[in-house]
Amino acid sequence: MDLILRNARLPDGQQGVDIGIRGDRIVAVQPALDATATEVIDVAGRLVSPPFVDAHFHMDATLSLGLPRLNESGTLLEGIALWGELKPDLTVEAIAKRAMAYCDMAVAQGLLSIRSHVDVCDDRLLAVDALLDVKQRVAPYLDLQLVAFPQDGLLRSPTAKRNLVRALDAGVDVVGGIPHFERTMADGAESIRWLCELAAERGLRVDMHCDESDDPLSRHIETLAAETVRTGLQGRVTGSHLTSMHSMDNYYVSKLLPLIAEAGVHAIANPLINITLQGRHDTYPKRRGMTRVPELMDAGVNVAFGHDCVMDPWYGMGSGDMLEVASMGLHVAQMTSATGVQRAFDAVTVNAARVLGLDDYGIAPGRRADLVVLQAADPFEAIRLKATRLAVIRSGKVIASTPEKQTALRLPGRPDHVSLEFTPGSLA
Ligand code: FE2
């Protein structure tokens, strides 16, 4: 074999597992693998996970923080206005340069698949050209899936329909939308119909920004689920954000959840962004604004967490760390039980991979050898520590590594070094 990882712990709790890799494939996952390899890495019982997957991002805007100015109010609407101010000065080169820099950060964090929305409301489609180029350049080490996103509204922006089709013709993968941003509820519903029919005709997936609002009457997810069934797109449609569900009446939600589940619509929450952008019209109590994650999961809906933004007009923080996203998600949703934390880890790995339709994903013989070795014992500790990515492996090759984190201590009578890793119960 070319590479063997010895003594790994897997996200499902299996321990003492060896992972054998030949070429770009995983060929064995078992204890005490009786084989030799060109390279052997002893991971010493630490967590080996399939890579992180970001199901919702905006790579055309990332790392543009401060251009042309900062978002003073921190609101969604000032962010959209700021993006509008930046658009005339955008160039293909600058967008691509920032996107490539972000992909480097992502790889360092073990984030090897990203679904990015790309704004198609600029008639020049510069961002589409830039990100299609970036998609090709990063393909050997990062899967970049692009969504044609009519940021200014499909019906509201006069050339959005034409531009969206042009973007798909150019090679953009997924049909996007923003029904709550259209002028009326009726226009929102009409945009969903048009977009689902387009996706069905072309055999594409759909991912709409849907009900990103605190308005409990923003119910486009209902239409999206119904249109998914009508156009036969079950399993291929995603509702992103769904923040209005946070504020909806419980009785209505009890009818809505089974509809979403039956339609096989995936849901994406963006915890870092939802907790900062929603609730802005509230005094106190202030709503959290994230969609009903555990309730959606209990209803059988596949839920992923996305990063949404990193250092752009909407959000100045972030570093491509999906463990930070998972951590915020479990805090906001109060998913602090052992099961809840495991579900939060799934939301940035396997659930997100399902949203993107990544067939080759996971730690099993025959799958592509994409793995992350974390300085943590299990998913719980990985999220707690935002654990160091000791090694990031793509197609069987180590493409990024970070030294183990350890701090030298200078305290009399205490150990020389301290790590934040800790086995529960070990000091009983
Ligand atoms: Fe978004």
In the chain, residues under CATH classification 3.20.20.140 are 52-356
Residues of the chain with pLDDT under 50: none
Q: How far apart are CA 204 and CA 202, in angstroms?
A: 5
Q: How far apart are the first and last CA of the chain?
A: 42
**Angle at alpha carbon of residue 222, lines to 260 and 227, rounded to 5°:** 85
| Paired sense of beta strands 389-394 and 397-401, if any | antiparallel
d(CA 206, CA 293): 20
Of the residues 182, 212, 227, 381, only one is catalytic, namely 212
Distance 78 CA to ligand 1 centre (A): 14
Residue 297 confidence (pLDDT): 98
Cα-based distances in Å from 422 to 41, 57, 251, 364, 426: 22, 33, 43, 29, 8
The domain 3-50+362-401: what is its CATH number?
2.30.40.10
Round to whole Å and give the CA distance between 153 and 63: 24
For residue 328, the model assigns a pLDDT of: 98
Q: Which residue stretches of 299-371 are H helix?
A: 322-332, 338-347, 350-356
Q: How far apart are CA 332 and CA 318, in angstroms?
A: 17
User: Rounded to the nearest whole angstrom, what is the distance from the C-alpha of residue 426 to the centroid of ligand 1?
Assistant: 42
Name which of 140, 136, 135, 118 is nearest 127 in CA terms.
Answer: 118
Q: Count CB atoms within 10 A of the CB of residue 103.
A: 23
Q: How far is the CA of 209 from the centre of ligand 1 (A)?
A: 6
Residue 87: the pLDDT is 86
pTM for the model: 0.97
**Phi and psi at residue 188, in whole multiples of 5°?**
-60, -45
- DSSP assignment of 345-398: HHHTTHHHHHHHT-TT-SSSTTSB--EEEESSSSHHHHHHHT--EEEEEETTEE
Per-residue model confidence (pLDDT) at position 104: 98
Residue type, 416: D
Which two tokens mark 149? 């996103």
The pLDDT assigned to 146 comes to 98
Average pLDDT over the chain, rounded to an integer: 97
Q: What is the pLDDT of residue 84?
A: 87
Q: What is the per-residue pLDDT for 109? A: 98
pLDDT in tens, 217-261: 999 999 999 999 999 999 999 999 999 999 999 999 999 999 999
Q: Report the separation in Å between the CA atom of 364 and the middle of ligand 1, taken as the mean of its atom positions.
A: 32
Nearest 10 degrees: Cα torsion 272, 275, 280, 281: 150
- What's residue 89's pLDDT? 87
146 Cα to the center of ligand 1, angstroms: 12
Angle ∠(60,120,273) on CA atoms, nearest 5: 50
Q: How far is the CA of 230 from the centre of ligand 1 (A)?
A: 26
**The pairing of beta strand 303-305 with beta strand 266-269:** parallel
Q: CATH fold of 52-356, please?
A: TIM Barrel (3.20.20)
Clarify whether 212 is annotated catalytic.
yes
Start-end of CATH 2.30.40.10 domains in the chain: 3-50+362-401
422 Cα: distance to centroid of ligand 1 (angstroms)? 36
Please confirm whether the linkage preceding 379 is cis (ω < 30° from 0): no
Q: What does the alpha-carbon distance between residue 300 and residue 231 come to, in Å, rounded to a whole number?
A: 21
Task: Give percent helix, percent strand, percent coil of the chain, each to the nearest 5.
Answer: 35, 20, 45
379 is written with which tokens?
């998913």
